[in-house]
Structure 1
């Protein structure tokens, strides 16, 4: 429970409850002022108006007329309350009050609230009891002249018991509603915080398992599509990428140990033999060593490029690029080499929308595609470079040949690092060219697909087509 009370969601819920309660209080104060406050002001205005009328009547017609008018008004069945007292005798001359309220003696000329007893009568007019009521009034002293010894005390009031009962009832209802709102807000905060804490704890549990070495753990999602599900999906994508990178590191380490041990061993043995041979043998050993060293450096450079691209460092700035223009440059560069190798080079383009990417990396990908076709399309006669629009609005880049192709069961492996199929063992290479292309495609959000290529004119083999599909630019 203490942990739930310390959660951010519970604290935010309390803040929202306090703000909501404050807003309700302000709204209640406004409604109170607009209803009961205005009613109280209206009561005071009516009392002042009646006192003014009685004062004018006294000044023009005297005390006798004042007494008759008050007696007439007290006979009406409404909430008006009057009392006329002659001073200094103190005799009650008229009115429906049985006694002068004590509050009137200290508030002469000002408004005051007081309680009075009102008889209860039945339908026949008989008195059946006494009811305690609340009223608001004002007492004024009337004199015929400023130096007159005789004066009259006039009390004018209004019964406000019904209004005060409604006001007290409303205050009680608002207070109870505020208390229920706060209590309900706290309960909702506890329930919400408990639910949120449970989902966060699942993430923490997954993180602890991954920290313990279990990289296969993933954050479970509920499928609700809320922000926590989005967070879980993003974390799972990040974990997938981390697991791929870790697996790639292990694979690279194993492959480096396996594939580079042989050339390094050859270099060492060749140098040992050269130390014992003549000058000619030393020269041949040095030239062979330089060749092997260049191959090793090329392998390391390819691995470094793949690692930089996968980490995002080597992707550079992504901007809208023209795939057709890049393909034209690469076609001009490779067409002579293809012709020298005995291939017919075919370049096909169509109006293609720009895509978001790196010009350097896309050029590298096309170069690797064409290098792969020149190396492994043995016995073929044609290489095709094709660029066109994709059905989804992006761009499609493909390189095809009519060589022996790749068996369908082996196609998924050729994008792996250091993988060289049996038919390509005799061809120079490190097996990293298409791995680099795979990293470039992933950096661009593009997809790679292997298909059957061009049919050989002698119907030998099905060739190979590598298709790279780019998403449309934003």
Structure 2
């Protein structure tokens, strides 16, 4: 229970409840001022008006007329309260108030609230009891002249028991409603916090399992589509990426141990043999060792590039680039090499929108495509580099040849690290070229496809076409 009370969701719920209660209190104060407050002001205005009328009547017609008028008004009005007292004798001359309220003695000239007794009568006019009522009034002293000894105390009031009862009931209802609202808000906060805490606990349990080494764990989602589901999906995507990277690291470690052990062993054996050989043998061994070392360094550099690109570090700044211009530069660079190797090189372009990416990485991808075509299109005579727009508003980059191609069952494998097909075993390379291209494609949000390429000379089969499809720039 204490844990629920410490949750952020419960604290926010309490804050919202307090703010809502404050808003309700402000609204209640406004409504009170606009209703009961105005009614009280109106009562005071009526009392002041009557006192003013009675004062004018006394000054013009004397006490006798004042007495008659008060008696008439007592008979006409049900909620009007009057009292006329002759001072200093203290005799009650007129009115329906049986006794002078004590509050009047200390509040002469000011408004005061008091209680009075009002007889209860039945339908026949008989008195059947006494009722305590609330009233609001004002007492003034009338003198015929400022220095006259004879004076009259005039009390004018209004019965406000009905209004005060309604006001008291309204306050009670508002208070109970506020208490119920706060209690309901606290209960809702507890329920929401408990539900929220259960979902957070699921996330904590999953993260503890992952921290313990079980990278296959994923945060379950409810399918509600709320922010916690979005958070779970994003965290699961992150965990998928981490698992892929960890698997990649394991694969790299295994592949390095397997594929680099042979050249390193060969280097060691060659150097041991050279120690016992002649100077010419040593020279040959050193040159061969340098060649093998260059291959090992190239392999390490390729692995490092793949790791950096997949982690996002080697992707650099992604900005709008002209892929046609990049392809033209690479075509100018590789066309002489293709011709020297006996290939007819063709470069085809169409108006293509800019893509968001890294100029260096896209250039490297094109270079790897063309290197593969030059290395593995043995027996072919054509290499084609093509750039064209896609239907989705992006760009399509492809390199096609009329070489031996790749079997369909092997086309997905060639993008893995250190994979070399049987027909390429005699060709220099580390099997990392297309793996590097795959990392570049993933960094750009592009897709890679291997399809049939140009038709071969016999016309019965096709070479290979490597396609990279870029999406439209965001």
Q: TM-score, structure 1 length as denominator?
A: 0.98
Which residue of the partner structure matches residue 426 of structure 2?
426
1:98 is aligned to 98
Distance in 2 of aligned mates of 1:351 and 1:129: 105
Q: Distance in 2 between matches of 1:31 and 1:305?
A: 72
- Partner residue, 1:7: 7
Q: Tell me, what secondary structure is at the counterpart of 1:139?
A: strand
CA displacement, residues 214-252 of structure 1 (integer Å, 9 cap, x when unaligned): 100111112222211111111111111111111111101
Instruction: Give 3-state SS (helix, strand or coil) of 1:414's partner.
Output: helix
Q: Distance in 2 between matches of 1:308 and 1:234?
A: 22
After superposition, where does 1:170-185 map in structure 2 within 5 Å? Answer: 170-185=170-185
Which whole-Å CA distance do the structure 1 matches of 2:58 and 2:77 have between them?
Answer: 24
Match of 1:107 in 2: 107
Structure 2 match to 1:41:
41
- In the alignment, which residue of structure 2 is the partner of 1:164? 164
User: Structure 2: how far apart are the matches of 1:378 and 1:226?
Assistant: 56
Alignment check: 8 A CA contact 1:338 1:344 kept: yes
Number of the residue aligned with 1:192: 192
1:337-381 deviation per Cα after TM superposition (whole angstroms, max 9, x unaligned): 111112111111111111110000000000001111111111112
CA distance in 2, matches of 1:76, 1:260: 118
Which residue is 1:127 aligned to? 127
Report deviation, 1:25: 1.1
Between the two proteins, the alignment pairs up a number of residues equal to: 474
Any residues of structure 2 matched to 1:61-460 within 5 Å, and which? 61-460=61-460
Structure 1 residue aligned with 2:27: 27
* Equivalent residue number for residue 462 of structure 2: 462
Kept in 2: contact 1:335–1:345 (CA 8 A):
yes
Q: What is the distance in 1 between the residues matched to 2:257 and 2:283?
A: 28
> In the TM superposition, what whole-angstrom CA distance separates every residue of 1:107-152 from its partner, at most 9, and x where no partner exists?
1111111111222233343333322110000111111112222211
**Cα shift readout 1:360-415 (whole Å, capped 9, x = no counterpart):** 00000000011111111111121111111111111111111111111111111100
Tell which deviates more after alignment, 94-103 or 59-68: 94-103
Compute the displacement of 1:460 (Å): 4.6
In the aligned structure 1, how far is the partner of 2:25 from the partner of 2:87? 49
Displacement of 1:310: 1.1
Alpha-carbon distance in 1 for matches of 2:436, 2:364: 9
CA contact (8 A) 1:404 1:460 kept: no
**Greater mean alpha carbon deviation, residues 368-377 or residues 126-135:** 126-135
